[in-house]
Structure 1
Amino acid sequence: MIRKSPNRLELMKTREEIDVAKRGKEILQEKTDSLMSLFFSYVKSSSEKRKGMEVRISEAFKTMLFLESLSGNSSVRIGATSVPEGKIRTEERYLMGVGMPKLIWEPSGERFSFFNVPILFDELKSDFEWILGEVLSVGEMESGISILSSEIKKGRRVINSLENFVIPELESSKRWIDFRLEQISREDRLRYKIIKKKLGLF
């Protein structure tokens, strides 16, 4: 317990500190609950995207093998799975005060082209480009999940500190000041009675 000067001003300051700590705990708890909700939303969306991506990849490879068997060469595989040169640009967006990553693919090379081939070849290429976009999207979510998890842990540590240490310490100090002020008041009343008795004022 922090021993503070037992006076009215210190008592008022301690009460204010308790109110601030309790309000801060409530606000932080609300934020942490919201981050938890967002965290589970990201986990669910990431899982769903992964499942959808796995199905699309499986279908795309089946189509690719079929087209390879028709064409009799490997140009289908090279064209469908080739990724144009480029770079991944990272941006940051804020959700509830937490910086979340945004991954953007910026191609700089020429797209592989098929000449004199059925439309199915271009559709296959589009499938693999869609898969690339989903890989980036899942990567965003996985990074977001990691960041949210870290923020939730930080919030819980602060809440735990406020709930189990800071607030009880302040309340203990307040009780001690209340006790000392009451003790001082009793001593003052006793002295006053003694003085009155000595002065014959009873």
Structure 2
Amino acid sequence: MARLNVKPTRMELANLKSRLSISTRGHKLLKDKQDELMRQFIILIRKNNELRKEVEEELTEAMKAFVVAKSLLNESFIEELFAVPDKSVTLDIQEKNIMSVMVPEMNFSVNEDDKDAELQYGLLNSNSELDDSIERINKILPKLLELSEIEKSCQLMADEIEKTRRRVNALEHLKIPQLKETIHYIEMKLEEDERASITRIMKVKDMGQ
């Protein structure tokens, strides 16, 4: 480990000891932050995996029902049915702070004027599979929104964990050892100078006797 290129003086020694103290405290704070970020990240990952499994299973069932409905109904009827949305949805995205990481908090609401609206189609042209698929997809929407929120949070936290890890490693394996080695070098150099000074004084005294 290459030491810092500084002059071996007592003032520089005091300065380096102060920097070492600050770096050591900073390392501890960053390490604590990294540990807490990892804890929060693991919780989110587990929740993400569970929710993704639920969403995939429910989407699969909804699509199965839709495929059956599509095979039994006129294709132009289905296209016309879904051509114009029967209701509008407003998405509100806020932010929340998790260990200094700003992650999204998403909420959606169906417009009040449209909340009671339903897809308008003739019962003779429809079938239970189509009704089932539409109902299933409507129920999945909140979970899809929550899943997107969690996955984005996981991505942002993973980036912050990586940045924090690099800073911790830089302090632990580079800056702190470098400061310690430089402090040790200056202390040895000052002791050596002090011994040389004492030796010179003693020689001067011997010459004066």
TMscore range, shorter length: 0.7 to 0.9
Determine if contact 2:48/2:151 at 8 Å carries over to the other structure.
yes
The amino acid that maps onto 1:142 is E
2:163 is equivalent to residue 154 of structure 1:
yes
Deviations 1:25-79 (A, max 9, x none): 121111111111211211111111122223333455667789999x99968x958
- Corresponding residue for residue 104 of structure 2: 101
Aligned position for 1:113: 118
Question: 2:90 is paired with a residue of what secondary structure?
Answer: strand
DSSP 3-state at the match of 2:94: strand
1:34 counterpart = 2:36: yes
- Contact 2:86–2:114 (CA<8 Å) still a contact in 1? no
Task: Give me the whole-angstrom Cα distance separating, in 2, the residues matched to 1:78 and 1:61.
Answer: 16
Counterparts of 1:44-123 in structure 2, within 5 Å, are: 44-60=46-62, 78=81, 84-108=87-111, 110-111=114-115, 112-113=117-118
Structure 1: how far apart are the matches of 2:39 and 2:153?
13
Deviations 1:163-190 (A, max 9, x none): 1211121112101111110111011101
Identity of aligned residues (%): 24
Q: Deviations over 1:108-146 (max 9, x none)?
A: 36133379x9xx999976643331111110000110111
Could you say which residue in structure 2 is the equivalent of 1:7? Answer: 9
Question: Structure 1 residues 188, 127: CA separation in 2 closer, same or farther (over 3 Å shift)?
Answer: same
Q: Which amino acid in 1 is paired with 2:58?
A: R
Contact 1:60 1:127 in 2 (8 A): yes
Q: AA paired with 1:15?
A: K
Unaligned runs of 5+ in 2: none
The TM-score with structure 1 as length reference comes to: 0.79
Does the 8 Å contact 1:4/1:177 carry over to 2? no
Question: Residue type of the partner of 1:172?
Answer: E
User: 1:133 is matched with which residue?
Assistant: 142
SS of 1:102's partner is strand
Q: Which residue of 2 aligns with 1:20?
A: 22
Give the 3-state SS of the residue equivalent to 1:4 in structure 2. coil
- Is 1:102–1:140's contact at 8 Å kept on the other side of the alignment? yes
Find 2:154's aligned residue among 142, 145, 150: 145
Q: Identify unmatched segments of 5+ residues in structure 1.
A: none
Q: Point out the more displaced range, 137-146 or 157-166.
A: 157-166
